[in-house]
């Protein structure tokens, strides 16, 4: 897969403190399921303690904070979430924080975590009004970024180039 989405996974620790990490190796694997490859982190400790997490899309406006939570360990820096400039609001659906600065999130329950692969059940999708057009998430307003693992850069998403399930109809 190239480029990769930049996913910010947020959890609470056993004491209710928010934490976040950057993970690019993830994909929605069904209508209500997400799978993310991740190693051993404070986030994985938190997943075991709470059974819940949120996944937000990193955005152009939050590159610095989103990159920071990927290069710093919550085990070493207990206030990593705040240092990234993030503020938490508790999800109404799962025991995990929503990151106020990231306007779209999947709210998830842990289905499994085996061999470094987190599988979560998506129980809700939330999006701030600021990124909606006609009630739908608008990529131009969300401004998600992608990770280019070949050049170790973040990329802005491009313009619409076609319609899924429609552009190829003329060839049928």
Q: How confident is the model at residue 63 (pLDDT cuts 50, 70, 90)?
A: very high
- What is the distance of C-alpha 3 from the center of its chain? 15
The arithmetic mean of pLDDT across residues 159-167, rounded, is 91
**Those residues with Cβ within 8 angstroms of residue 83's Cβ, 6 or more apart along the chain or in another chain:** 68, 72, 77
pLDDT of residue 159: 84
Whether 2 shows a pLDDT value over 90: the answer reads no
pLDDT digits (tens, 9 = 90+) for 72-112: 999 999 999 999 999 999 999 999 999 999 999 999 999 99
pLDDT of residue 160: 85
Q: How confident is the model at residue 51 (pLDDT cuts 50, 70, 90)?
A: very high
Task: Give the C-alpha separation, 74 to 7, whole Å.
Answer: 17
Phi, psi of 90 (to 5 degrees): -65, 135
Which alpha helices (DSSP H) does 75-145 contain, by range? 80-83, 139-142
From residue 164, how far is each of 62, 161, 172 by CA, in Å? 28, 10, 14
């Amino acid at each position: 897969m190239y480029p990769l989405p930049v996913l910010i996974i947020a959890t609470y620790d056993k004491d209710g403190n928010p934490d976040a990490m950057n993970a690019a190796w993830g994909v929605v694997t069904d209508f209500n399921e997400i799978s993310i490859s991740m190693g051993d982190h404070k986030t994985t400790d938190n997943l075991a303690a709470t059974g819940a997490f949120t996944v937000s899309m990193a955005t152009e406006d939050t590159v610095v904070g989103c990159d920071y939570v990927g290069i710093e360990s919550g085990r070493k820096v207990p206030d990593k979430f705040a240092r990234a400039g993030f503020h938490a609001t508790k999800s109404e659906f799962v025991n995990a924080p929503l990151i106020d600065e990231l306007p779209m999130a999947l709210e998830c329950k842990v289905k499994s975590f085996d061999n470094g692969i987190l599988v979560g059940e998506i129980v809700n999708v939330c999006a701030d009004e600021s990124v909606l057009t006609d009630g739908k998430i608008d990529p131009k307003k969300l401004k998600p970024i992608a990770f280019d693992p070949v050049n170790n850069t973040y990329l802005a998403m491009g313009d619409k180039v076609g319609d899924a399930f429609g552009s190829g109809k003329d060839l049928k």
